């Protein structure tokens, strides 16, 4: 890895159906996070981007049920991961492997999580979540990297959040290769420098490969997009600062939607 090597990811949602792979190939990205949760990604698309030399990571939500501690959730998680392993991607990324909770959103209660039920009362949630990460790790061969999308909270700021989501990043790190904290700073109502602060925090905990994923437009969708090119540039520069390993944009589909693909290309080309 050279000094200037950065992993430049685009998240592909297939939000509006089929996605044209050619502008992606020309964007300067070297890696993709491809949504593979509700259905398999378009085969032609994958074939084209892989031939062009892009690394493909498949992304899935961990489960759909109500409670992570329900044995059915573990079965669903395992079968989803096994299905992705069969497709032999470069990376497998898991989202929502935690007790049900929203990502941190401006103006919303940050700890609005799953309420205790018959499956999870009297258990320590972080024990379940950590154990599940370990079980998933065993299903994934070493040739495939295992990553997680992380809710970007700092324990000291939200001590109760670890308790309710079951996310103890210090324990989970033993089971994953790579972590992508969801640093949608405008959605979280955080300053731009929270991105770098959070990457440094994960490094301090012991994560080696950290890919902050940043927003392309204002989210959720119902908000008008007031996120300017200048601020995207600042967020990007903040995201790629060491000890970060690179950056991911969420998402390419949003960039197409808002006419911002050239902004991404310019940033990728310059650094």
From residue 110, how far is each of 63, 137, 156, 242 by CA, in Å? 21, 28, 14, 28
Q: How far is the CB of 131 from Zn ion (least distance, A)?
A: 15
The candidate with the shortest Cα–Cα distance to 256, out of 214, 216, 200, 197, is: 216
Q: How far is the CB of 110 from Zn ion (least distance, A)?
A: 19
Question: Is the Cβ of residue 19 or residue 69 nearer to Zn ion in the bound state?
Answer: 69
Alpha carbon distance 59, 130 (integer Å): 19
Sign of CA dihedral 271, 103, 203, 156: positive
Q: How far is the CB of 162 from Zn ion (least distance, A)?
A: 16
DSSP-derived pairing of the beta strands 31-35 and 7-12 = parallel
Question: Is the Cβ of residue 120 or residue 178 nearer to Zn ion in the bound state?
Answer: 120
Question: Is the Cβ of residue 119 or residue 158 nearer to Zn ion in the bound state?
Answer: 119
| Burial grade of 184 (CB within 10 A; 0-12, 13-18, 19 or more) | buried
Q: Give CA angle at 59 (65, 248), nearest 5°.
A: 130
Question: Is the Cβ of residue 52 or residue 123 nearer to Zn ion in the bound state?
Answer: 123
| Burial grade of 205 (CB within 10 A; 0-12, 13-18, 19 or more) | middle
Question: Is the Cβ of residue 161 or residue 250 nearer to Zn ion in the bound state?
Answer: 161
Alpha carbon distance 178, 207 (integer Å): 7
232 phi, psi to nearest 5 deg? -60, -40
Q: How far is the CB of 175 from Zn ion (least distance, A)?
A: 22
Alpha carbon distance 170, 155 (integer Å): 11
Q: How far is the CB of 151 from Zn ion (least distance, A)?
A: 18
Question: Is the Cβ of residue 42 or residue 66 nearer to Zn ion in the bound state?
Answer: 66
The candidate with the shortest Cα–Cα distance to 33, out of 18, 49, 16, is: 49
Q: Are 86 and 71 within 8 A, CB to CB?
A: no
Question: Is the Cβ of residue 67 or residue 239 nearer to Zn ion in the bound state?
Answer: 67
Q: How far is the CB of 159 from Zn ion (least distance, A)?
A: 21
Q: How far is the CB of 160 from Zn ion (least distance, A)?
A: 17
Q: Which residues bind Zn ion (CB under 5 A)?
A: 67, 117, 119-120
């Amino acid at each position: 890895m050279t000094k200037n090597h950065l992993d430049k990811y685009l998240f592909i949602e297939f939000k509006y159906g089929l996605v044209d792979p050619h502008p992606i190939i020309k964007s300067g990205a070297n890696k993709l996070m491809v949504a593979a949760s509700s259905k398999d990604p378009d085969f032609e698309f994958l074939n084209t981007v892989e031939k062009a030399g892009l690394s493909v990571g498949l992304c899935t939500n961990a489960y759909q049920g109500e409670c992570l501690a329900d044995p059915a959730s573990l079965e669903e998680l395992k079968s989803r991961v096994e299905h992705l392993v069969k497709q032999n991607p470069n990376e497998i990324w898991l989202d929502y492997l935690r007790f049900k909770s929203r990502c941190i959103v401006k103006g919303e209660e940050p700890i609005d999580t799953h309420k205790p039920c018959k499956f999870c009362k009297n258990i320590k949630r972080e024990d379940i979540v950590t154990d599940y990460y370990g079980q998933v790790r065993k299903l994934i061969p070493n040739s495939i990297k295992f990553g997680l999308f992380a809710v970007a909270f700092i324990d000291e700021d939200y001590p109760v959040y670890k308790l309710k989501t079951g996310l103890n990043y210090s324990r989970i790190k033993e089971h994953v290769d790579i972590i992508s904290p969801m640093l949608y700073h405008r959605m979280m109502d955080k300053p731009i420098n929270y991105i770098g602060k959070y990457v440094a925090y994960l490094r301090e905990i012991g994560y080696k490969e950290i890919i902050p994923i940043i927003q392309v437009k204002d989210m959720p969708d119902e908000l008008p997009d007031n996120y300017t090119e200048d601020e995207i540039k600042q967020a990007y520069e903040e995201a790629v600062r060491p000890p970060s390993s690179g950056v991911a944009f969420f998402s390419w589909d949003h960039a197409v939607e808002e006419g911002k693909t050239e902004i991404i290309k310019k940033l990728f080309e310059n650094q």
